[in-house]
């Protein structure tokens, strides 16, 4: 069975601080996919990034960066120079190989990030 753990329930930072959201996953598959979603106060779920298990390259997109480490089963998300608009709940998710037929995403419990002005 697959599992995603986001141990940080809530994080509060002051604007312009850097913040890292942790995600640890468990799966028996050798091929799998990892995702981050953002849920702002308005409630919708917004896709941020996906990563394949065979691609351990880190990625940077503006103020966002992701660190995928297969050896520790972690897929952490860093926001640099945080802004008030980053305040949201962030979810890490995992899905197994497409050809297994198990295509649903398993979500972590989410980390609520509050950025204070």
Partner 1 sequence: DAGVIQSPRHEVTEMGQEVTLRCKPISGHNSLFWYRQTMMRGLELLIYFNNNVPIDDSGMPEDRFSAKMPNASFSTLKIQPSEPRDSAVYFCASRYGRDRPNTEAFFGQGTRLTVV
Closest CA to 78 of 65, 62, 59, 92: 65
Least distance from C-beta 7 to partner 1, angstroms? 14
Q: Cα-flanking dihedrals φ and ψ of residue 100, to 5°?
A: -75, -15
CB nearer to partner 1: give 63 or 102. 102
Residues that bind partner 1 (CB under 8 A): 33, 35, 37, 43-45, 47, 50, 52, 91, 97-99, 101-110
Rounded Cα gap, residues 86 and 75, in angstroms: 19
Q: How far lies 111's CA from each of 49, 55, 73, 74, 83, in Å?
A: 16, 25, 18, 15, 16
Nearer to partner 1, 82 or 110 (CB): 110
Which residue's CB is nearer to partner 1, number 54 or number 62? 54
Q: Is 94 left (phi over 0), alpha (psi -120 to 50) or beta?
A: beta
Minimum distance, C-beta of residue 14 to partner 1, in the bound complex (Å): 26
Rounded to the nearest whole angstrom, what is the least distance from the CB of residue 18 to partner 1 in the complex? 25
CB of 49 to partner 1, least distance (A): 9
CB of 37 or CB of 68, closer to partner 1: 37
């Amino acid at each position: 069975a697959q599992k995603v753990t986001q141990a940080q329930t809530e994080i509060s930072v002051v604007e312009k601080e850097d913040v890292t959201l942790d995600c640890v996953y468990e799966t028996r598959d050798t091929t799998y996919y990892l995702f981050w979603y953002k849920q702002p106060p308005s409630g919708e779920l917004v896709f941020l990034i996906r990563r394949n298990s065979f691609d351990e390259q880190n990625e940077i997109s503006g103020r966002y960066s992701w660190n995928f480490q297969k050896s520790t089963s972690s897929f952490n998300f860093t926001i640099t120079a945080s802004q008030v608009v980053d305040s949201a709940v962030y979810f890490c998710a995992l899905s197994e190989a497409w050809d297994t037929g198990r295509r649903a995403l398993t979500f972590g419990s989410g980390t609520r990030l509050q950025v204070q002005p």
